[in-house]
A = this chain, B = another copy of it.
């Protein structure tokens, strides 16, 4: 076969979304990344998306991110080059990128707590350049990538980079959702909806969704919530207690990251219940130990480890999890500034996850 002239090789720059301080993003030409460690791979991004955390970054809330950083920690793409110590992937493989890099060797990795890997953790779009670009360098490629079939649906797959593992691990699993439970999810944004989709895998009897926005609550109902509560009247706890005949809920998942939403969780949790915090908090909250000390509750926090990605991938592949329904808008990478605008004003645009093609 006569190979066509490979223009790509000659190109040494790429398009990338660069952070230049609060509220200052630019789509720029940047040098293409190259292999730095034998365990690295270079991936050509074909699909990426924007995370709620990217909006926090944009506001300047995440101090680890400095001027010049390429953002993004979610993506699907094609292996462009694999380091000499990458044993699982070859050039041309279609792969899913995990937001979490893990060395597989440190004590945290050996316990499955990849988010706290001593050499990894959340690196992409944080302390190294990320996926909102044409190419990205992936450290520890063997454990940070997952092989996809060539025909895999990329929009479904990219939901497994971050949002679905987050909903599952920080919400559903930490909340120990089980058949017959009554579950409340506070916040019907992407994290809350991901918690909802994954909670359903454990067959709770009821899933109550709580949010300020009726559109989001309507989406939650279409995703399988059994009841919804609009909390804009400030009386969410009263409504939940009424819906549960004063029993409260077995599991409360906090998917917003504010004191007010955390308070709802505290107010509705039944004795023996679990509060699973999935929100990113910027301030301390008040914990009502004067009441909860005797309630036999469990409260958890978690930075997603993405240890459930292989399971989620099997569920998507077997048709048992419709990950794609989280996608509401589609753009090209060249339109990423517009995509950020849409995602930043989610209520106005009825936006859930906003996907960017190559």
Asked if A39 CB lies within 8 Å of chain B CBs, one says yes
Alpha-carbon gap, A6 to B16, bound state (A): 54
Q: Do A301 and B297 touch (CB < 8 A)?
A: yes
Q: Are B115 and A87 in touch, CB under 8 angstroms?
A: no
Give the contacts of A278-334 with B (CB-CB under 8 A): 279-290, 292-303, 305, 307, 310-312, 314-315, 317-318, 320
| A residues 70-117 in Cβ contact with B at 8 Å | 84-85, 87-88, 103-105, 107-113, 115-116
Chain A's interface size range is 35 or more
Least Cβ–Cβ distance between A212 and chain B, in angstroms: 20
Q: Do A282 and B290 form a contact, CB below 8 Å, given A85-B39, A116-B296?
A: yes
Q: Is the CB of B301 within 8 A of A289?
A: yes
A113 proximity list for chain B (CB < 8 A): 271-272, 296
Interface centre among A287, A288, A290, by most chain B C-beta atoms within 10 angstroms, is A287
Tell me whether A298 and B296 are in contact in the complex, defined as CB-CB below 8 angstroms, given that A202-B203, A271-B116, A290-B284 are known contacts.
no
B320 close to A111 (CB less than 8 A): no
Q: Enumerate chain B residues within 8 angstroms of A143, measured Cβ to Cβ.
A: 104-105, 110
Residue A155, interface by CB 8 Å? no
A206 at interface (Cβ–Cβ under 8 A)? yes
Q: How far is the CA of A271 from the CA of B107 in the complex (A)?
A: 12
A109 to B109, CA, bound (A): 10
Contacts of A119 in B (CB 8 A): 87
Copies of this subunit? 4
Produce 1/0 per residue, A178-199, CB < 8 A to B. Answer: 1110000000000000000000
Q: How far is the CA of A300 from the CA of B312 in the complex (A)?
A: 27
CA distance in complex: A197, B188 (Å): 30
Given contacts A180-B314, A272-B111, contact A105 B88 (CB under 8 A): yes
Chain B residues lying within 8 Å of A307, measured Cβ to Cβ, are: 110
Chain B residue at smallest Cβ distance from A142? B105
Q: Which residues of A contact B (CB under 8 A)?
A: 38-39, 84-85, 87-88, 103-105, 107-113, 115-116, 119, 142-143, 178-180, 200-203, 205-206, 226, 257, 262, 271-272, 277, 279-290, 292-303, 305, 307, 310-312, 314-315, 317-318, 320
- In the complex, 26 of the A-B residue pairs with CB atoms within 8 angstroms, ordered by the A residue number, are A85-B85, A104-B104, A104-B143, A105-B142, A107-B310, A108-B271, A110-B112, A110-B143, A113-B272, A115-B294, A115-B296, A116-B272, A178-B311, A179-B315, A205-B317, A206-B318, A262-B289, A280-B293, A281-B289, A284-B286, A284-B287, A286-B287, A287-B287, A293-B301, A295-B301, A297-B300
Instruction: Name 10 extra pairs, CB < 8 A, besides A180-B311, A282-B290, A284-B289.
Output: A104-B105, A108-B272, A110-B307, A200-B203, A205-B317, A281-B290, A285-B289, A289-B301, A292-B301, A293-B303
